[in-house]
Amino acid sequence: MKARLIESLNAKQATIGIVGLGYVGLPLLLRYCEVGYKVVGFDIDRDKVDKLLAGKSYIEHIPDNSVARAIEQGFDATTDFSRASEVDALILCVPTPLNKYREPDLSFVMNTVEALAPHMRQGQIVSLESTTYPGTTDEELRPRIERFGHTIGEDIFLVFSPEREDPGNANFTTNTIPKVCGGCTPNCLEAGMALYGQVIDQVVPVSSTRAAELTKLLENIHRAVNIGLVNEMKIVADKMGIDIHEVIRAAATKPFGFVAYYPGPGLGGHCIPIDPFYLTWKAREFGVHTRFIELAGEINSSMPDYVISKITSALNAVRKSIAGSKILVLGIAYKKNVDDMRESPSVALMERLRDLGAEIAYSDPHIPAFPKMRDHSFDLKSVSLTAETLASYDCVLLATDHDRFDYEMISKHSQLIVDSRGRYLEPSSHIVKA
């Protein structure tokens, strides 16, 4: 059974099912289509499915013609999970957020597996790509699949292969980013290597699903901890009257032993603010208190309040208060040059400023209208940046430094700028670094 599956995958005769058609699933399905596989996309969101079937993309950096080309190559999308029996591979790319207690919320993964498992058949491979704590694939997915009479490693092959996406980074694409893969059994790993081998330039095998799960967490915790360090250094440098961005640029000239990380108004995206808590939660099961990780989390979580304090001081210096001030937030995506707002610190800043009585507006060339979000609500549209518009605000907060902003024009016509991204290098009396 394994040999037949691997032969089908290597010959590109297998049908690939991608479950969850968001920032991870959509690029991946396009890659499988690109190299010649037949692909079926699964999602619970009817609007997403309808847009894809109409040849339209809902992610800015993925053009419509890429979706239309996939449809020409046989791509199909559906909300009907019973069609899981039609595919040879099921790749799960669903969210793994935190609940209100900052604990792992695996409901999307579990609900997806529960919906798919009754329709799984012998000879399929199932791969989980969603970031999670070590043990999830073995402890949660495996028993749910085996409950329907399957034996993992014999008639169904189960792997964990964490997603690695960097939206907006033109230097790396789905196929050029090396991919880690771990299997529940050696047979599972062998099938997993075949699943990804035709679409990813380099597949990196590890000894188990748990090792693969921890690999993903280490990658993101490494980034979160280093950002926490540089955010703390920013506060120290500010107290000393030193520009931390100048210091980072100088330190980055060292050709060894230093990697440049940059401070900001807080952590954003679906990985870095969330993933460390998956490990800290699981570590408690083993009696381990992850103090280093949690300290970095505390520092990063406090950064929006630090930015608010800088805005307060800057307005006070010109005899104004936050209450009643008109404040324009530049950039509400979580990182520059993308339309992704997941966990964006800009939203936290907007909410804090609104609660303090400010009149809030925003400008973001990538997000024309504030989208519907589960936990946040603003009835706002992006403001066009003109000399007159900028001059009408008491304060302009640079929260996300998109390249499409005209920074010279913004500086020339704004009364006061609070720069949380270090975009403005030269000192100026009306620019405050935050």
Active site residues: 271
Q: Quickly count: other Cβ atoms within 10 Å of residue 143's Cβ.
A: 10
Please give the radius of gyration of the chain, using alpha carbons only, rounded to the nearest integer: 24
The two three-digit tokens of residue 114, written as one number: 């529960």
Q: Quickly count: other Cβ atoms within 10 Å of residue 376's Cβ.
A: 14
- Answer for the pair 158, 184: CB distance below 8 angstroms, yes or no: yes
In three-state secondary structure terms, 42 is strand
The two three-digit tokens of residue 123, written as one number: 């000879």
Q: Which residues contact 117 (CB under 8 A, 6 or more apart)?
A: 144, 145, 147, 148
In three-state secondary structure terms, 58 is coil
Q: Which of 209, 211, 212, 192 is nearest to 126 (CA)?
A: 192
The helices-and-strands tally (H runs, E runs) of the chain is 15, 13
Residues 341 and 335: their CA atoms lie apart, in Å, by: 8
Question: 228 vs 82, 173, 224, 232, 234, CA distance in Å?
Answer: 45, 27, 6, 6, 10
The two three-digit tokens of residue 379, written as one number: 């009835």
Tell me the three-class secondary structure of 376-422, residue by residue: CCCCCECCCCCHHHHHCCCEEEECCCCCCCCHHHHHHHCCCEEECCC
The two three-digit tokens of residue 121, written as one number: 């058949």
The two three-digit tokens of residue 227, written as one number: 């950002």
Question: 73 vs 15, 52, 60, 122, 394, CA distance in Å?
Answer: 12, 13, 22, 26, 53
Strand partners, 432: 418
Residues 56 and 43: their CA atoms lie apart, in Å, by: 15
Q: Which of 118, 59, 432, 414 is nearest to 423 (CA)?
A: 432
Residues 314 and 335: their CA atoms lie apart, in Å, by: 24
